[in-house]
Structure 1
């Protein structure tokens, strides 16, 4: 996550010191996309779904794996998990450079999360995934 090209330069402060470890995974629903043999079985991406209040807390795809549809697969999996949990919508506060991705995968812009200095000194777009029942 901290090695992501999306968090270089001015955006580095947003993930500095952030850690996804056993305590985080124990408290949240975290899912991982692992590469096949040709990827050496490496982690290619992950996301975390918080149920109350419903939120996509994290979604990352490794720089070298972007453009391969992994982010779309993770979003589709998140929507399936949210539906199974009885949720009808999931919020996400987007990293500014990821806003176009969320729009392309069906999220609807619903607002703006105001800056929270010093860690996040810029406003961020808020999106909502509407989860249709099957």
Structure 2
């Protein structure tokens, strides 16, 4: 999929973006993006401190990477679980946020989910990301209670219609 990033977003990123299927060679870069995300600083840090996106995870699930067209730089990624349908992971590089990349990834996710015959996708959101998911059409479905020691806070449960 070619970039749906706005011209302002392209200027911010410095290049076109394409989304491709991630492979096992991407695992270390995906892990680095998760562990260094400023969205998980402070009280959220324990959630990603030891997190690893393994080769087996990338090969087992539908993981898609947004990369710079000319540099190959990893700008973001998401993982779609088909059964049951769920957005398992979605991260955008700190310096790429605000350029429309998250919306591009969600659009791609909807296309993939639709092609797989899904009607909706569950999202258990990082609390600060809830407003973003609501802005792309997700609706609140409930709350997933904290699960110490890894997750010390309640998280919003959302549903994203595919069609």
- 1:8-31, CA deviations, whole angstroms, 9 ceiling, x for partnerless residues? 111011112111121110111000
C-alpha separation in 2, matches of 1:82 and 1:22: 22
State yes or no: 1:71 paired with 2:102. yes
Q: Which residue does 1:105 correspond to in 2?
A: 136
Q: Which residue does 1:123 correspond to in 2?
A: 154
SS at match of 1:118: coil
C-alpha separation in 2, matches of 1:74 and 1:131: 13
Q: Which residue does 2:44 correspond to in 1?
A: 11
TM-score by length of 2: 0.78
Q: Which residue does 1:42 correspond to in 2?
A: 73
- 1:36-60, CA deviations, whole angstroms, 9 ceiling, x for partnerless residues? 33xx321000000000000000010
C-alpha separation in 2, matches of 1:10 and 1:2: 14
- 1:72-100, CA deviations, whole angstroms, 9 ceiling, x for partnerless residues? 00000000000000000100000011011
Q: Which residue does 1:51 correspond to in 2?
A: 82
State yes or no: 1:88 paired with 2:119. yes
TM-score by length of 1: 0.94
In proportion to residue count, which structure has more helix?
Answer: 2
Runs ≥4 residues deviating over 2 A: none
C-alpha separation in 2, matches of 1:72 and 1:107: 12
SS at match of 1:13: helix
Q: Which residue does 1:22 correspond to in 2?
A: 55
Unaligned runs of at least 5 residues, structure 2: 1-33
